[in-house]
Structure 1
């Protein structure tokens, strides 16, 4: 994945030519170290404008990897079948903004 969608302050931004895992690690490191960093992103459709976002502790941000190729209808159908549609528990979501706390079902926690 070389493109990342970002939701920040309720608005959509994007970053091109950036590795998702690397960007996620950089955001996590900034939060872990208690520092803020500026991230250059694109804002707008068609002819995006450059924008700088301040990322750090207490600043909510969502990173979403954009696949190189959009899924085909067959891929989407396979996903619905393998996940049983909308039934079942919600997926476990890990936030880079929150520290790791033991879950209530963790015997060590």
Structure 2
């Protein structure tokens, strides 16, 4: 089963059985249409409850493709941060 994590308004939500591509298209189409649209997601841990996120132009939303079958990789701080060198 696939899972997508979503951060909206600083709170975490999830979606299951969707692809990143289909979710990105749905969000992009809603924002481009300029008409507010509700996106149904899961809220809570253990016992999920429906939550509805309002998608409109300028909505700040992050989606994360959770890949449970990939090995965890530990990165050093040098690998996770790239400084903007202006010197």
Question: TM over 0.5, yes or no?
Answer: yes
Which fold has the larger relative contact order, with Cα–Cα distance below 8 Å and residues 6 or more apart in sequence? 2
Q: Name 2:80's counterpart in structure 1.
A: 86
Quick check: 1:2–1:20 contact (8 Å CA) kept in 2?
no
Give 5+ residue unaligned stretches, structure 2.
none
Q: So what's the TM-score if we normalise by structure 2? A: 0.78
Q: Name 1:72's counterpart in structure 2.
A: 71
What's the secondary structure of 1:72's corresponding residue?
coil
What's the secondary structure of 1:26's corresponding residue?
helix
Residues matched between the structures, number: 83
Task: Supply the distance in 2 between the matched residues of 1:47 and 1:72 (Cα, whole angstroms).
Answer: 27
Q: Name 1:16's counterpart in structure 2.
A: 16
Map Cα deviations across residues 7-54 of structure 1 (whole Å, 9 max, x no partner): 011100000111111100111111122122111111011111111111
Give 5+ residue unaligned stretches, structure 1.
91-109
What value does the CA root-mean-square deviation take over the aligned residues? 2.3
Q: Does 1:35 pair with 2:29? A: no
Larger radius of gyration: 1
Q: Name 1:63's counterpart in structure 2.
A: 63
Choose between structure 1 and 2: higher strand proportion: 2
